[in-house]
Amino acid sequence: MHNTELVSIEIRPATEADWEQIAAVDSRAFHNYMTEESMAFARQALELDRFIVAVDDDMVVAVCGAYSLEITMPGGALLPLTGVTWVGVSLTHRRQGLLHKLMAALDHQAADRSEPLMGLRASEGGIYGRFGYGSINRMREVAITQPLVRMLEPSPPPSGSVQILDGRDAVPAMFERWDRARRAHPGELSRTEADLRRRMHDAAPGVTVAVHADGFAAWKVTPKWTNGLADSALEVLEFCATTPAAHEALWRTILSVDLVGEITAHLAVTEYDRLPALLVEPRLVRTTALLDGLWVKVLDPVTAFAARSYRTGEELVLACDHDRWLVSEAGCAPTDAPADLKLDARALGPLLMGGSSATALAELGLCSPTRPEVLPIADALLGFEPRPISRLMF
């Protein structure tokens, strides 16, 4: 049970008049103070009509919002996904149940819009499981000691294949390439040009973008000298490539930036990235953190499981709470047949997207087969390659 003082708090859709207070709550929650210019870029990138506020005595004390996104399913279909974002509660109102109320309001909004999936990036790993979200992939943070790196094929990027642009000038080219790349891989999300403009504005000045016909990379260098030796820090902010040639050409470009000591990347190098395989010493791509990635909540399992591909001709009855549905190559339909696999809500997203096997989820206590032979059948039916990745921060 949560604090009864909350009865005086109104939960309602946001209006344009709330915008400055919303930005103030968000700035304090994330220690990220916005200038007027960055507020203008943020405002253009978000859908304020999808924001919900908690108001106490005319003050906005909590906020959450949503982007209308699309996710690529195993097999290539695209499904609408409510991209939960801007979740923040004022210091004065924390641990009184406001997040519970905001998440319930967003669930209703998503259901009203018939969006079968919801997704988010979490600030901390312990918050969202209780709301039925499960992480579908892992986010790999890496550090690379650049002066030690040698590529297996020590040639420069093929002449003319990569063009260097200033961050803000590169947005249309980045958008076109992102939109192609995200359709080609399960787990990746759509984004808007306004989102890219905002990212490039917030990272400026000094963002460099390398654009290839089939991808792009964006990075920022913070200059540093240590005892007279160049030791600048290069942070890769964005990366996408639809072909191995683009991936390699872009990494050759990043690794050839002079005067750099260490390269770091939070989302650019995926869990199964081929970058280490391009290097003489693959260990130089040091994984500094392996974190939860995109969290997905499945609101409409029948629509969601009908939209993905399956790998075998078997069929299984999945169950979660009071819902039961039959999945097979032929699709997915509600059923009254007895369950083969009982799922905790947190298992639905990872299983749907092919991010975790039924066996792995059973080991975590997030699903249980009704017969021992079900787990290998489920692994074969629901497993999918390539495994999901998700590089959008929102």
Ligand X SMILES: CC(C)(COP(=O)(O)OP(=O)(O)OC[C@H]1O[C@@H](n2cnc3c(N)ncnc32)[C@H](O)[C@@H]1OP(=O)(O)O)[C@@H](O)C(=O)NCCC(=O)NCCS
Site residues for ligand X per CB under 6 A: 29-30, 87-89, 94-100, 122-124, 126-127, 130
Q: Is 104 helix (H, G, I), strand (E, B) or coil?
A: helix
Phi-psi category of 281—alpha, beta or left, where left has phi over 0 and alpha has psi -120 to 50?
Answer: beta
d(CA 211, CA 225): 28
Residue 115 contacts by C-beta under 8 Å, 6 or more apart in sequence? 68, 80, 81, 82, 299
Instruction: For residues 261 and 237, give the distance between their C-alpha atoms in angstroms, rounded to a whole number.
Output: 17
Least separation in angstroms between CB 26 and ligand X: 8
Residue whose CB is less far from ligand X, 29 or 299: 29
Least gap, CB of 128 to ligand X (angstroms): 7
Cα distances (angstroms) measured from residue 302 to each of 111, 149, 299, 318, 332:
14, 48, 9, 10, 6
Task: Determine the 3-state secondary structure of 75 from DSSP.
Answer: coil
Nearer to ligand X, 16 or 124 (CB): 124
Nearest distance from C-beta of residue 65 to ligand X, angstroms: 11
Considering the complex, what minimum distance in angstroms separates the CB of residue 30 from ligand X? 6
The CA distance from 392 to 238, in Å, is: 9
Min dist. Cβ of residue 88 to ligand X (A): 4
Q: Helix 36-45 crosses helix 19-30 at what angle (to 10 degrees)?
A: 100
Closer residue to ligand X (CB): 127 or 380: 127
Nearer to ligand X, 6 or 173 (CB): 6
Which residue lies nearer to ligand X by CB, 88 or 354? 88
Q: How many other β-carbons are positioned within 10 Å of the β-carbon of residue 370?
A: 12
Residue 199, number of CB atoms within 10 A of its CB: 22
The nearer residue to ligand X, 2 or 180, going by C-beta atoms, is 2
Cα distance between residue 224 and residue 343, in whole Å: 51
What's the rounded Cα separation, in Å, for the pair 362 and 291?
Answer: 20
Closest separation in Å from C-beta 39 to ligand X: 18
| Residue whose CB is less far from ligand X, 25 or 170 | 25
For the CB of residue 390, give the shortest distance to ligand X in the complex, in Å. 15
Nearer to ligand X, 94 or 220 (CB): 94
**CB 18, min distance to ligand X, A:** 17
Cα distance from N-terminal residue to C-terminal residue, the chain: 31
Beta carbon of residue 199, minimum distance to ligand X (angstroms, whole number): 18
Which residue bears the tokens 């005892």? Answer: 227
Tokens in use for 300?
């409409």
What DSSP string describes 195-217?
HHHHHHHHH-SSEEEEEETTEEE
If the CB atoms of residues 95 and 283 are measured against ligand X, the closer one turns out to be 95
